[in-house]
Amino acid sequence: MAPAGLFDAFSELRISLELAKAGFLPSFVCHLEMGNSFCTYKYVQIYDRTLGLLYIGSYVLVSIYLLIDVVLLKGYLDMDGITGTLRVKPKRYHYTQQQPDASPPFCMPPAACEHHWDEYDMTDVGSHDSSIFVTTFVKDTREGRNETDDDYTELSERMFFVAGVDDLVLKIEHSFHTDRHDEGYSQRAMKGRAPFHPFVLDESGPDKVTVRDLVSACGVSLDGASDAHNAKNQTVRQRGVVLLVRITYANTGLFGVLAQPTYRYDCAHIAHSDYHVAQRLSSTNGNGNTTHTHSHPHTHTRHLRKRYGLRVVCSQSGRIGYVSSRAVVLRIVSGVGLFTLAAWMVELLAFYVLPKRGEFTRCMVEETRPSPTGGREKAE
């Protein structure tokens, strides 16, 4: 008689072989009997309400996932990145012509208002193609150099606000080119939208927005209290702020790919930020001659200017979709795989978790040998 331990070992091996035939263990276990047997799947219809609900539930979940992935997330598209170009510039503006008698409420001592600045005076410092700096407050300082220690001492100071900056119009022109599909689109050939009203989207020219409307859309008030750490109860107009304007491109809608891409504006401000640009306007040597060099050996006085204002930084992002047969095939294959995985998970529950797992195992795993007469007989 075989020892009990040897019998248990053979029983465990037999169970492993049966599970391998059902597809739950690696196929190499089944190959232990290679040459004497062949492993295949057996499809059994089990009338059990619990298994039926689990099976239907798993298929519903997989179907919902595939619906979201294919329809809502446009999984059948090949998404291409973009490279954008952008330019921000001010529109021609004269405050004295549009507001001849106006005296803004922020023009109060000790800081007066400068009424004669145009768009070049407001934006000629710190501006680039994709960003612009708009001056709202200026602090001019005249300093003299001490002959003894070459240090500078403040001689006089003048502060003033820039009147009319709220009505300055900024113009934005932008375009993009896809990275792999070699297609380009200009802002003038696309439809745009903004979650806020102030932007004037004009297909015949650049998009336009006033400084007042842009600041409001970004959630800031120029005459509101600044949240910068060193603001000292000063307003945003006095301390400046950084504004972020993002342009996002897309060519997909609810029901597929659009004929032309569209773009969308989004705006926000950097919390606890301020912004200023420092300039050295001129310096005067001992003979009274004015020079603009930074290291003149005989410089005695110099004129410094700090401009506080809005740093408007624009950026571009987005992805353009193209219908791709490769993406469609991948979604079909992944869908079939997920449905197979759902059935496999239900079978695992039937084998190892549910109370009737022993009965399920006997129904789902069977050994058979073909008889010499052409029929079939179950293996003992």
The CA distances from residue 103 to 110, 134, 162, 177, 306, in Å, are: 15, 20, 11, 46, 23
Instruction: Spell out a b/e string for 243-257, using b for 16 or more CB atoms within 10 Å of the CB, else e.
Output: bbbebebbbbeeeee
pLDDT > 90: percent of the chain:
31
Task: Note the pLDDT of residue 103.
Answer: 67
* Residues in a beta bridge with 341: none
Q: Centre a 10 Å sphere on the Cβ of residue 70 and count the other Cβ atoms it contains.
A: 18
Considering only CA atoms, which of 360, 324, 191 is closest in space to residue 261? 191
Tell how far CA 41 is from the center of its chain: 47
Residue 141 scores a pLDDT above 70: yes
At 57, which helix (H) or strand (E)? helix 49-67
The pTM of the full predicted model, rounded to 2 decimals, is 0.70
DSSP code string of 236-253? HHHH-EEEEEEEEEEEEE
Task: Note the pLDDT of residue 96.
Answer: 53
Considering only CA atoms, which of 229, 242, 225, 226 is closest in space to residue 309? 242
State how far the Cα of 245 lies from the Cα of 168, in Å rounded to an integer. 17
Task: Note the pLDDT of residue 39.
Answer: 66
375 burial (CB, 10 Å; 0-12 / 13-18 / 19+) is exposed
pLDDT > 70: percent of the chain:
75
pLDDT tens string 328-369: 898 889 988 999 888 888 888 887 888 887 877 777 766 666
Beta-strand relationship, 241-253 and 299-318: parallel
Task: Note the pLDDT of residue 48.
Answer: 78
* Residues in a beta bridge with 263: 192, 249
Tell how far CA 27 is from the center of its chain: 45
Task: Note the pLDDT of residue 24.
Answer: 45
Residue 134, SS3 per DSSP: strand
pLDDT tens string 23-56: 444 444 454 455 566 666 667 777 778 888 888 9
pLDDT tens string 75-129: 888 889 999 999 999 988 765 545 544 567 787 776 788 888 888 889 888 778 8
Count Cα neighbours of 251 within 13 Å in the Cβ-side half-sphere. Answer: 23
Question: Which two three-digit tokens encode residue 203?
Answer: 């297909």
Question: Which two three-digit tokens encode residue 362?
Answer: 């006997």
> Is the CB of residue 117 less than 8 Å from the CB of residue 167?
no
Phi, psi of 255 (to 5 degrees): -115, 20
State how far the Cα of 138 lies from the Cα of 277, in Å rounded to an integer. 10
State how far the Cα of 275 lies from the Cα of 126, in Å rounded to an integer. 11
DSSP code string of 58-75? HHHHHHHHHHIIIIIS-T
Task: Note the pLDDT of residue 100.
Answer: 46
Q: For residue 21, what pLDDT band results from cuts at 50, 70 and 90?
A: very low
pLDDT tens string 287-340: 545 544 444 444 478 899 999 999 999 999 999 998 888 888 988 899 889 998
111 burial (CB, 10 Å; 0-12 / 13-18 / 19+) is middle
Q: For residue 373, what pLDDT band results from cuts at 50, 70 and 90?
A: low
Name all domains of the chain by residue range, CATH numbers in brackets: 14-74+324-378 (no CATH), 82-323 (2.60.490)
State how far the Cα of 277 lies from the Cα of 125, in Å rounded to an integer. 8
